[in-house]
Amino acid sequence: MAERLDGKRIAFLLMDGVEQVEFTEPWEALERAGAALELVSPTEGTVLGFHGVDKADTFDVDRDVADASATDYDALVLPGGVVNADHLRMDEHAVRFVREFFEGHKPVAAICHAPWILIDAGVARGRSLTSYPSLATDLRNAGADWSDEEVVVDQGLVTSRRPDDLPAFIAKTIEEIAEGEHAGQTA
């Protein structure tokens, strides 16, 4: 039987340029597991998904990241997409929001280019993780132990490389959220 996440509140942090499948597949899986989900963004109204470089669907924003706090959630999911990830890491509220999850020892799941924001949030040093391969040097330079694996789990931090890794990413994300807070998940 699949793990249930009933009563768990999960934030998805994203903005225009998100790799759509890295948002929609985890969202649908967590929703099926019973979690309450919110799309948090620095963008007002809607965000635009992409399939690679092609525009895709729009999604309604539930909460402005400037008004969001990690204390309102049990976990955070960071979908990828180059544009999404690059712009999020430049938003001070998004960076603060991510850091709060680590300070609260809460699970965080990041795929593809999303681990970029972990550098700006100051939480990559000493962590074992993976990402889209082009981020390897950035993450190593920030003090992370980067490896080229389908999924890496480090004390509540789940990371994966690309859309092909989504099945493993989703399974480990659900598992880490079900386990709850992790003492080793620190800022």
DSSP codes joined into one string, 61-123:
--EEGGG--GGG-SEEEE---HHHHHHHTT-HHHHHHHHHHHHTT--EEEETTTTHHHHHTT-
Amino acid 91 reads D
* pTM to 2 decimal places: 0.97
Q: State percent of the chain over pLDDT 70.
A: 99
**Residues labelled as active-site residues:** 112-113
In terms of Cα–Cα distance, which of 180, 185, 174 is closest to 3?
174
Summarised one tens digit per residue, pLDDT across range 108-165 is 999 999 999 999 999 999 999 999 999 999 999 999 999 999 999 999 999 999 999 9
Q: What is the DSSP letter of 22?
A: H
Domains of the chain: which residue ranges? Answer: 9-176
Provide the pLDDT for residue 67.
97
Which phi and psi angles does 46 have, rounded to 5°? -135, 160
- 162-176 burial: b if 16+ Cβ within 10 Å, else e: bbebbebbbebbbeb
Which phi and psi angles does 63 have, rounded to 5°? -155, 140
Provide the pLDDT for residue 162.
97
According to CATH, the superfamily of the domain at 9-176 is Class I glutamine amidotransferase (GATase) domain (3.40.50.880)
Q: Let me know: does 63 contact 38? Beta carbons within 8 Å.
A: yes
CA 120/CA 8 separation, integer angstroms = 27
